[in-house]
Structure 1
């Protein structure tokens, strides 16, 4: 289990849409992550199990430093967003692993508050699910097949996408097993 936090007191952002403007202020993130792993007594990862999860909450307290339009310098902008993932991996046979992952951004809060009036603008959450199958034929190589399906909230509506990956990963050069 872990807890983490980050504070930036000199956050600066340049936005070009809808009109070029610059924001500056404070940015902080806090979160937690959790991992449980089981190392099965079988060889080559058979029966190994791992589940992990993370949650984070981010706040940007900014003000307008420059704007090409009408908002005055010093006008407040506060952005709040959260996100999480949960994933699991299981070694179902020697040298074979299957993994699933689900992540979301803005599932609990995803908003911008503008000016002294506190006018709030909210956005829908974005989600992604992934599945990976990994075969490890040697200690130095892996072959992975992955699918990811996304449901992303945009200003013009929801966008859905599927991605497919086939990767071959090889370790080259000096390796810890070869040291004296």
Structure 2
């Protein structure tokens, strides 16, 4: 986390860079061979008013790792809001091209507390036969919502299944991606990604060394070991049939495998460790209708995704280097899933309304542990949590939208208690500067 001085310095640096880059871009002239270099800059600003109208359970049962990042750190940048006014998720984006060879993208995200490089990658433009390569840090193209930023969402918040299975940013990793678009009348894309594996899904601790038990002074050597990256492999396929000028659809399937999944939790009585691997599989679908009327009037779109995740680990809890706590050793699988379906309709020019319903933990077996009431080793099971949202959005001009959203959280906690909460959010999002067309 940045302190105030560092925060001011960082923002000053970003401002100087944003002001200087257009001059640098303008100074680049084509050379004699006709090569070309140009840059576009955009700034996306967001503010959110948040009101927790009634308090309920804040986290769905069984998903204790939904907001964790690798190396035991928590995400600081988790898009959560305080009651009242919030500076939301803002982005400064630089996009450049090198003739017909490469595109480069740098996206810097910031809010009131943090600044981070969200994406920084190069993409090829001139490979033959429908091939394309991407390298750097980027949002994975698995599913539908994962690769889209806040300003492209139809609701204020990320779908639960993406957040709690993959993390606060979804799958966001450093690595390489290869895609191929088939030369067919029906749009068909296949893709594969080789990623470092250092996030929520591919959780990685490495060798954490020695832990000293506070009450006894005993030292416990971690059994976790360093594993070289890349540790995460993903693949996806999507098909977009030709439905005519007014209708469009896209159907996708994706999956991934992490060869390392590690977690260590330190207690006053010892050290808990989980060590294994993980995989996921999912389906996504999107349908859009274009009425042909002005400013989205009569348009509608429907989308949904389902993902299933398995974490297969060995578990142990040790009181010292040689003593395994009673019944605190074994193997097990955490099996969890989630789904959402949403629809948005343009009920007037520049106005749209949407509904979304979600569930996580339809299958909800947690990580193996011996923390139950009887202190026996077990794989705990939890109930399903739900969330329902409604939104109304107004777009006075294309780069600006104002959105009001009402959300009911119907979460159950780890003890089986269900308590519904109600939230209201009002979002203002403004895109300044060059901004490319939205993807399908």
Same fold (TM over 0.5): yes
**How far has the Cα of 1:168 moved from its partner?**
1.1
1:160 aligns with 2:420: yes
Kept in 1, the 8 Å contact 2:317–2:325? The answer is no
1:95 and 1:16 map into 2 onto residues whose CA distance is 53
Kept in 1, the 8 Å contact 2:315–2:368? The answer is no
Kept in 2, the 8 Å contact 1:152–1:158? The answer is yes
Kept in 2, the 8 Å contact 1:21–1:66? The answer is yes
- The one of 349, 356, 362 equivalent to 1:94 is 349
Query: Secondary structure of 2:396's match?
Result: strand
1:25 and 1:150 map into 2 onto residues whose CA distance is 32
Query: Secondary structure of 2:432's match?
Result: coil
Residues 139 and 112 of structure 1, relative CA distance in 2, 3 Å threshold: closer
In structure 2, stretches of 5+ residues that fail to align are: 1-250, 370-376
Larger displacement relative to structure 2 (161-170 or 89-98): 161-170
Q: Mapping of 1:1-180 within 5 angstroms?
A: 1-15=251-265, 20-64=271-315, 67-68=318-319, 70=325, 75-107=330-362, 109-112=363-366, 114=368, 119-156=378-415, 157-176=417-436
Residues 26 and 146 of structure 1, relative CA distance in 2, 3 Å threshold: same
TM (norm. structure 2) is 0.37
TM (norm. structure 1) is 0.86
Q: Give 1 or 2: higher helix fraction.
A: 2
In structure 1, stretches of 5+ residues that fail to align are: none
Deviations 1:63-102 (A, max 9, x none): 1265446267862021111110000000011000101001
Kept in 2, the 8 Å contact 1:64–1:72? The answer is no
Greater relative contact order structure (CA < 8 Å, 6+ sep) = 2
Kept in 1, the 8 Å contact 2:359–2:385? The answer is yes
**How far has the Cα of 1:122 moved from its partner?**
1.4
Residues 169 and 112 of structure 1, relative CA distance in 2, 3 Å threshold: closer
Q: CA RMSD in A?
A: 2.6
